[in-house]
């Protein structure tokens, strides 16, 4: 998992609530057997017209948001099925963080376990960021996980959490900063695992 300390990028606004995972990554893309290459699946049914041409009305198709790496959206983003593909598609497209008042529980967990930073802010602050992104072409934001701050060049500086539970916030912040998924966390105890395997007569972990 790629470590995340701080990232500055163009902010794309998706002014919708209750966006479900089937809208993020339609079910027909779930037949793939890889964990990468899902950027074309992201919001596919919204990004494209029935004839396959880009939908000029969809926000991510607007020239000002090309190359956006931060997404701000409405509450309960990622509801619906538990598919990790929704997070993979966002990351493959180039997003490093999702800013919202709330995320659906399983989607939130998938973000934390795959390295997509969930930035949880009060609704009023989210609306303010969305307004700036809509009004100012190329509006950039910095998400600083070390300080748990969101900043812009105009002097904005607000604090955020990645989980409402304080203990979980601390633990998950540590894993994101250090790029540790569940395998990485396990391998931090490699010496103890090897010692245990040797003690019970198993082949040592390599």
pLDDT given at position 155: 95
pLDDT band (50, 70, 90) for residue 204: low
In contact, 154 and 129? CB cutoff 8 Å: no
pLDDT given at position 35: 87
pLDDT given at position 32: 85
The 140-144 sheet, strands edge to edge:
117-120, 97-100, 70-73, 6-14, 140-144, 149-151, 157-159
Kindly report the pTM of this predicted structure. 0.90
In contact, 120 and 162? CB cutoff 8 Å: yes
% of the chain residues with pLDDT over 70: 96
- Alpha-carbon distance of 56 to 155, in angstroms, equals 33
Q: How many helices (H) and strands (E) does the chain have?
A: 8, 7
C-beta neighbour count of 75 within 10 angstroms: 16
CA angle 21, 1, 33 (to 5 degrees): 55
Whose CA is closest to 143, among 165, 120, 127? 120
**Cα end-to-end distance, the chain, whole Å:** 20
pLDDT average, residue stretch 151-172? 96
In contact, 65 and 10? CB cutoff 8 Å: yes
Outline where DSSP puts E strands in the chain.
Answer: 6-14, 70-73, 97-100, 117-120, 140-144, 149-151, 157-159
pLDDT given at position 188: 67
pLDDT band (50, 70, 90) for residue 159: very high
pLDDT band (50, 70, 90) for residue 206: low
Whose CA is closest to 119, among 24, 15, 7? 7
Assess whether pLDDT exceeds 90 at residue 153: yes
For 74-92, write each residue's pLDDT tens digit. 999 999 999 999 999 999 9
Q: In this predicted structure, which of 5-14, 22-31, 87-96, 183-192 has the lowest mean pLDDT?
A: 183-192
pLDDT given at position 83: 93
pLDDT given at position 95: 98
Q: Is 128 helix (H, G, I), strand (E, B) or coil?
A: helix
* Domains in the chain with CATH codes: 6-180 (3.20.19.10)
Whose CA is closest to 70, among 161, 179, 143, 154? 143
pLDDT given at position 137: 86
In contact, 38 and 88? CB cutoff 8 Å: yes
pLDDT given at position 34: 87
For 38-73, write each residue's pLDDT tens digit. 999 999 999 999 999 999 999 999 999 999 999 999
């Amino acid at each position: 998992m790629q470590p995340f300390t701080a990232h500055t990028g163009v902010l794309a606004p998706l002014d919708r609530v209750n966006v479900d995972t089937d809208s993020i990554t339609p079910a027909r893309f779930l037949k793939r057997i890889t964990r990468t290459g899902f950027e074309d699946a992201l919001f596919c049914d919204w990004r494209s017209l029935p004839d396959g041409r880009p939908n000029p009305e969809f926000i991510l198709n607007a020239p000002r948001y090309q190359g956006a790496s931060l997404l701000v959206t409405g509450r309960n983003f990622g509801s619906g099925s538990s598919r990790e593909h929704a997070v993979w598609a966002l990351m493959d497209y180039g997003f490093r963080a999702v800013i919202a008042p709330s995320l659906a529980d399983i989607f939130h967990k998938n973000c934390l376990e795959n390295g997509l930073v969930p930035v949880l802010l009060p609704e009023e602050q989210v609306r303010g960021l969305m307004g700036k992104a809509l009004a100012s072409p190329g509006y950039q934001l910095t998400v600083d996980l070390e300080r748990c701050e969101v900043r812009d060049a105009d002097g904005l500086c607000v604090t955020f959490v990645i989980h409402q539970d304080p203990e979980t916030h601390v633990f998950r912040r540590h894993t994101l900063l250090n790029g540790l998924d569940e395998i990485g966390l396990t391998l931090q105890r490699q010496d103890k695992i090897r010692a245990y395997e040797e003690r019970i007569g198993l082949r040592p972990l390599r």
